[in-house]
Amino acid sequence: MRLHIPPQISRLLLLTAVIVTLYLTARYFLTPQSFGMYGWYRAVALDEIAARPTTYAGQKACDECHSEVVQRLAKYEHKTVACESCHGTGQAHAENPDVSVSKLTYSHCVRCHEADPARPKWLKQVKSKEHYTGQRCTECHVPHQPNEVP
Amino acid sequence: MKKLLELVLKMGGTGYQPVFGGNLPPKIATSQRPVPSKGHFQSLPLGRRSVLRALTGALAGALTLSLSRKAKAAVQKMLVSSHTPKGYDPTKHKWLMAIDVDRCIGCGLCVEACKTENAVPVGPNYFRTWIERYVITRPEPGSGEMRGETLVDSPNGGMHGFPPSLVPKEQILKSFYVPKLCNLCEHSPCSQVCPVGATFDTPDGAVLVDPKYCIGCGFCIQACPYGCRFMNPVTKTAEKCSLCYHRITRGLKPACVEVCPTEARVFGDLKNPVANDPIHRFIEKNKAAQSLKPHLGTAPRVLYAELDKEVR
């Protein structure tokens, strides 16, 4: 017995086949090549995100030219403070030494050392309104060697 | 035992030849086995013409496949700019951030550094990382409570430090700062809800957003139980802490970790431990380190040491 397919059904079948083929072709061409490499996403996105520029150069870059200062700093209380914590972004300065890093002011000191009950007890804190007002911090304290008196 | 085995063999196996003797069914004669007839082989299409035809077909197929691959590559090049692969293999690292709450002094340098490094829009609602100040007051006399109220504030994310607390010092039972950031969930709800696969968990432990694929629907912002995501008003795409992916892939520390003056933030690679590694030292020292909202089943990976139970 031969299977007889009515023409309207065979036309529908043909149309379905064409649509499915078109979809599969489009999917084949449009799916990014790196899709599915690590998961349900474009793996190239990792490279794109990793290609963004940096603004902080990192302590190693500072150490390349200013190793003397970095080594001296490591012996004192401020050893955990990175150069860029106080001196600001350094990538531009690392690429071109003519670009200077930001100037430091009094606010850099009180940013950490202003007395606050939320601050841990081990941190040395002062009430800036009562602590030698009218004098600059650096008159008595050396930021790179906080234990020493100038 | 042997009888039972024989019974089983009698019932089931006809062609089975046991190695040991016994009362077993006789071996089937070889003449009874079905042997394919000669005519069966002759009907196979192995003529010269058919072989040539099959080879030509295979060649044409291979040619079409290679051509379509070339065409696909050309289309891909038009659609997405491809980057040359760099010498970083995400499967060979597993990054982790840990925070020692007792060491945070609330200076806000991390928040400022994050905004600068990642070009996060200026404004009080856009933060990839921020600091919260917790103030737990003393209980009312005679209330029978152990603690009073818990007040949390984060003026401008703590970016420019904190003004003095409005609660007088005598009323404060406990006060501390808690830095917050993406919790690097193992089962991140944000990447589960993304309808276009624009946010994803990387093999090296970061959760990233692909700004080229993000459609800005904001599902992920609703899904994050830690409030770590926001909509970038300029690009109109979702944004979050990327663990400074552009820095860690170059061997640098994330910007917030770099500038943290007290080592409250610790960062490291779990897969490549080095001597005196801060992250391994942290895990060794703080065995009771917790993560935020562990009951949600998101498996957050960022560790917090000395965490008060009030912190959510």
Q: How high is the ipTM of this complex?
A: 0.86
pLDDT at A1 over 80: no
pLDDT(B84) > 50: no
A16 in reach of chain B (CB within 8 A): no
- Domain boundaries, position B280: 90-305
Q: Would you state the pLDDT for residue B2?
A: 54
Long-range CB contacts (within 8 A, 24+) of A75-83: A75/A145, A76/A144, A76/A145, A76/A146, A76/A147, A76/A148, A77/A146, A77/A147, A78/A143, A78/A144, A78/A145, A78/A146, A78/B261, A80/B261, A80/B262, A80/B263, A81/B261, A82/B258, A82/B259, A82/B260, A82/B261, A83/A59
Is residue B41 one of the residues assigned to a domain?
A: no
* Contact call for A50 and B103, based on CB within 8 A: no
What pLDDT, on the 0 to 100 scale, is given for residue B15?
Answer: 45
Domain membership flag for residue B272:
yes
Does some domain include residue B218?
yes
Q: Does B146 map to a domain?
A: yes
Chains A and B form CB pairs within 8 A to the count of 146
pLDDT at B71: 84
B162 to A116: CB separation less than 8 angstroms, yes or no: yes
CATH number of domain containing B227: 3.30.70.20
Name the pLDDT band for B22 (thresholds 50, 70, 90).
Answer: very low
Mean pLDDT of B73-89: 65
Contact B202 A38 (CB under 8 A): yes
Distance from CA of A16 to the nearest CA of B (A): 23
Chain B residues with beta carbon closer than 8 angstroms to that of A30 = 75, 79
Tokens of B281: 């030292």
Give me the pLDDT at residue B134, please: 95
Nearest CA in chain B to A51: B246
User: Can you give the pLDDT at residue A106?
Assistant: 73
Q: Which residues contact A120 (CB under 8 A, 6 or more apart)?
A: B102, B103, B104, B105, B176
| pLDDT above 70 for B33 | no
- Whether B43 is in a domain gets the answer no
A119–chain B Cβ distance below 8 A for any pair: yes
CA distance B104 to chain A (A): 7
Residues of B in contact with A89 (CB under 8 A): 116-117
pLDDT tens digits along B234-293: 999 999 999 999 999 999 999 999 999 999 999 999 998 888 889 999 999 999 999 999
Asked whether residue B71 is assigned to any structural domain, the reply reads no
Decide if B105 and A84 are in contact by the 8 Å CB cutoff: no
Q: Does A104 touch chain B (CB under 8 A)?
A: no
Please give the DSSP secondary-structure letter assigned to residue B281.
H
In this prediction the pTM is 0.79
Position B23 pLDDT exceeds 90: no
Site of tokens 């943290």: B260
Alpha-carbon distance B271 to nearest alpha carbon in chain A (angstroms): 18
Q: How far is A56 from chain B (nearest CA, A)?
A: 7
The answer to whether residue B82 is domain-embedded is: no
Percent above pLDDT 90 for chain A: 52
Phi, psi of B211 (to 5 degrees): -65, -20
How many domains are contained in chain B? 1
User: Inter-chain contact B107–A112, Cβ cutoff 8 Å?
Assistant: yes
Among chain B residues, the shortest Cα distance to A91 is held by B117
The neighbour count for residue B132, using CB atoms within 10 Å, is: 19
What is residue A135's predicted lDDT score, i.e. its pLDDT? 87
Q: What is the mean pLDDT of chain B?
A: 85
In this prediction, residue A31 carries a pLDDT of 86
Q: Is B257 a domain residue?
A: yes
Residue type, A52: R
